[in-house]
Structure 1
């Protein structure tokens, strides 16, 4: 037996170097990596159009790229213009909201005065002190959120986000064009046996990821349908626009529709419209229950995993990686399962 296993040492060193490079490069390569993943996802559609209509790959890529980008721009334009119109409406009504808020505060003070009549002066002063302290904390919290530093930081990030978005668009188009060539170059570095295992693993991952995307689309349409009906019952004039906004934002794990409905409900309560605030709160809870209960079942059915495995993977992923863990967790399970099926990982043992 040799004292040192040279191939093992070499492979270990290569793995460590690649891990260090990945740790350094990956955080600044998110737009490019995202573009590669999207190109892999839309590859079946590119091949379908190319084979169905007998066109070149470049033509198929241009068609897919243009249609997808055009639909995104139209949806973005519709949502932004609608939101701007609503913000203008709200800004026009803002003075009346302030008057209502002042009246509400006067009523609260009047009720507090009636409720504290007959109480010792020390108790009244203590209650007034607690109320003033609470209002001061709320004011400080709002000022901490909406202050010059945060707005400046957000403004300084906009050019960087714009550059990243442009890089993503360019990289996506180039990856869509050159994906077959890149795939061929990638497999040159593997033996036929290893390449077959990787291809099997790749096809399994692609199948499960498409199932994941299909599950997300199905759940998102359920959310859109329920929010549209709920908002039409609650506040019809904003139903269509706000349901689309909720539908788009709902892809954010855990939070989702709460990001839209919670501030809306809080604003309604602050303006004294307790009926609207209560209805919006109930709708937010209903949407959250639907997503948390339906999502594991739909994802399990579409991905070929049990709902329990998906739920556990999402929970552990969220604990380890935060919000991103809701995607990373199931993805790790997918990679492990397909690698085991391909024979790359072998766990055939008994205790």
Structure 2
């Protein structure tokens, strides 16, 4: 690999990093504009070639569908969380005496043991309490950070909305301007790269939808088998949370299992933990394969790129890593980037 290729590759990675961080609203606007462009083209014919009107109608319809779906799903999820919170509070209130007796029984059980054993058990209990306090503190800090980030989130959302309308209206012109930068003999190569990126974007979204559908189905079947209340709503919440790389299915299923352990419903708790293990294994095994096939890159490349990028830049690396691999692969296949390694 010569120095030019190294500099070129480094510049590509740096530009992608900027897009996935400070330029994320514009990146999302470009991606959504590409996804809804087939509908814009159809409406452009309906409105006699007036792309501006077609883009306005399509983008507005997109936002109405997204906001409506988010509202309905969010409202359902909040209702289920409120119902679960009430169940927990009512259980503690109704079983306060039993919980107190359980505490005294635990203390009586510890009494006969040696002093060293008592110290070890006390240290274990203290560690558990400290861990619980750390979790509560972490959630509090996360909530504070979220509230502090609301102004920035609103600004990013506004930029995304405006950018989506503008990109959708001028997408053909943007494509022509990008091609005009390059020499005539190189334009077909650039078109190859753009086509592969377009296919990869669709493939990634299709892969994520397939993963979410399978996660929802597995969760729903598991909840129906162990007969958990509100199986459809719970499966929906688990699926939505599973999309978030930081949280995952465990952030819903594990606390729910702990709650049922406290209630003494051990069958439900064990069933939930088994379900979590199945979902965890499925995600780790199937995700690289499904996303790799959908995006046109190998499963090993997908897994390695996600892991390395995650270690380097955090959660955003789960998306940045495969994006780098896809772009580099497209540039190599179009004979724009040449990696001649001599041994």
TM-score range, shorter chain: 0.7 to 0.9
Range moving further from structure 2, 323-332 or 336-345? 323-332
Does 2:127 match 1:134? yes
Query: Matched residue of 2:315: which SS?
Result: helix
1:110 shift after superposition:
0.8
Does 2:102 match 1:107? yes
| Contact kept in structure 2, 1:318 and 1:326, CA below 8 Å | yes
Match of 1:238 in 2: 230
Match of 1:74 among 68, 78, 91: 68
| Contact kept in structure 2, 1:228 and 1:240, CA below 8 Å | yes
| Contact kept in structure 2, 1:101 and 1:270, CA below 8 Å | no
Match of 1:4 in 2: none
Over 3 Å counting, the alpha-carbon distance change for 1:300 and 1:195 in structure 2 is: same
Bigger CA radius of gyration: 1
Match of 1:213 among 201, 205, 212: 205
1: CA distance, partners of 2:22 / 2:293 = 35
Does 2:31 match 1:37? yes
Match of 1:334 among 326, 330, 339: 326
| Contact kept in structure 2, 1:104 and 1:272, CA below 8 Å | no
1:129 shift after superposition:
3.0
Over 3 Å counting, the alpha-carbon distance change for 1:272 and 1:194 in structure 2 is: same
Over 3 Å counting, the alpha-carbon distance change for 1:308 and 1:89 in structure 2 is: closer
In the TM superposition, what whole-angstrom CA distance separates every residue of 1:115-159 from its partner, at most 9, and x where no partner exists?
643x34x24642563255235414532442354x65444322223
Question: Which 4+ residue blocks in structure 1 deviate beyond 6 angstroms?
Answer: 14-26
| Contact kept in structure 2, 1:101 and 1:272, CA below 8 Å | no
Query: Matched residue of 1:343: which SS?
Result: coil
In the TM superposition, what whole-angstrom CA distance separates every residue of 1:290-346 from its partner, at most 9, and x where no partner exists?
222222222233233333333333333333333322222222221111111111112
Match of 1:144 in 2: 137
What is the TM-score normalised by the length of structure 2?
0.83
Aligned length: 337
| Contact kept in structure 2, 1:116 and 1:124, CA below 8 Å | no
1: CA distance, partners of 2:15 / 2:327 = 21
1:93 shift after superposition:
3.2
Query: Matched residue of 1:346: which SS?
Result: coil
Does 2:90 match 1:89? no
What's the C-alpha RMSD, in Å, of the aligned pairs? Answer: 3.4
| Contact kept in structure 2, 1:300 and 1:307, CA below 8 Å | yes
Match of 2:272 among 276, 280, 293: 280
Range moving further from structure 2, 99-108 or 35-44? 99-108
Gaps of 5+ in 2: none
Range moving further from structure 2, 304-313 or 16-25? 16-25
Match of 1:313 among 298, 302, 305: 305
